Amino acid sequence: MKNRNLLKSILIPSCIFVAILLLDLLTKHFVFQKLSLSGDVMSVIPGFINFVHVENTGAAWGILAGRPVFLIVFSILIFAIYLAFYIIRVKKFRGRIHLTLVISLGLIAGGCVGNLFDRIAFGYVRDFINFQFIDFPVFNFADMALTFGIILMIIYFFFFYTKEDERLRERNKALNEFKDEIQIFQNDSLTLKDVQSENKDQKEEDLNKPNEGKPPENTSADNDEINSNKTQKD
């Protein structure tokens, strides 16, 4: 059971990470092959969504534009901290962590690495998804994964983080009580064995101990001599 929980806590986010990363990089590659110039547009669902060639030098949704080096370092640092937190939780709970945290890690890892690849390879992030019916920044699948991953992370911290710690404390308390009961039982068993051993030693000592305070028994020769003396007196 322990190994299966640990496997799930590693396998599930790994699969999500790979799926998001492939989806993000492949869609960027094919869309930007069609839309080779910045500003090129391809209609997908008229009036609802289209693809636009946008070179985003900022973070998700275009924030912090023009600071690629800072964003690269910041992205690596934040992801390393979150990954370290996840590893600590997995070790602490032996893989039995809430699914929201597991999925969150996979989404954040996929989105972070997808955009990080663009920043390192091109100096900007390739965005192309555009909603026509609302005024909304152009984005990509990595941005979507990061957004949903952060939402799940917030849900985990608000609703499940404290409950997991409380459940662990209760489990450890019950385990300690069980260990105490076993220790008491073992001590009682050892005491009983000691008493039985002492009783056995006492019995053996009593059997081997010579009879004290009792007159020595007369032998048959002594009895014959006493009878002879009585006859002579008579």
Same domain membership, residue 121 and residue 18 = yes
Whether residue 164 has pLDDT greater than 60: yes
Distance CA 194, CA 199 (A): 9
**Active-site option among 24, 127, 180, 188:** 127
Mean pLDDT value of segment 9-21 = 95
pLDDT-derived band of residue 179, with 50, 70 and 90 as boundaries?
low
Same domain membership, residue 179 and residue 95 = no
Same domain membership, residue 170 and residue 149 = no
Same domain membership, residue 153 and residue 200 = no
Query: Would you state the pLDDT for residue 1?
Result: 57
Same domain membership, residue 58 and residue 85 = yes
Same domain membership, residue 107 and residue 192 = no
Same domain membership, residue 177 and residue 120 = no
Task: Judge whether 86 lies within some domain.
Answer: yes
Residue 189: give the domain boundaries: 162-205
Query: Would you state the pLDDT for residue 185?
Result: 64
Distance CA 78, CA 81 (A): 5
Question: Can you spell out the DSSP letters for 192-223?
Answer: HHHHHHHHHHHHHHHHHSPP-SPPPPPPHHHH
Whether residue 79 has pLDDT greater than 70: yes
Whether residue 108 has pLDDT greater than 80: yes
Mean pLDDT value of segment 67-87 = 91
Q: How far is CA 28 from the centre of its chain?
A: 35
Query: Would you state the pLDDT for residue 95?
Result: 84
Task: Judge whether 187 lies within some domain.
Answer: yes
Contact 121, 93 (CB under 8 A): no
Same domain membership, residue 199 and residue 85 = no
Task: Judge whether 29 lies within some domain.
Answer: yes
Name the helix (H) or strand (E) containing 131.
Answer: strand 125-131
Query: Would you state the pLDDT for residue 16?
Result: 97
Same domain membership, residue 196 and residue 115 = no
pLDDT-derived band of residue 119, with 50, 70 and 90 as boundaries?
very high
Mean pLDDT value of segment 33-57 = 90
Whether residue 212 has pLDDT greater than 80: no
- In the chain, the number of structural domains is 2
Q: Is 118 a catalytic site residue? A: no
Lowest-pLDDT range, 4-13, 100-109, 112-121, 220-229?
A: 220-229
Q: Is 24 a catalytic site residue? A: no
**Active-site option among 118, 143, 201, 222:** 143
Task: Judge whether 228 lies within some domain.
Answer: no
Task: Judge whether 74 lies within some domain.
Answer: yes
Same domain membership, residue 172 and residue 154 = no
Residue of 16, 20, 36 lying closest to 114 (CA atoms): 20
- pLDDT averaged over the chain? 82
Question: What percent of the chain is modeled with pLDDT above 90?
Answer: 47
Coil, helix or strand at residue 42 = strand
Same domain membership, residue 124 and residue 40 = yes
Among 138, 159, 180, the domain boundary falls at: 159
Cβ-based neighbour number of residue 102 at 10 Å:
22
Same domain membership, residue 190 and residue 75 = no
Cβ-based neighbour number of residue 187 at 10 Å:
10
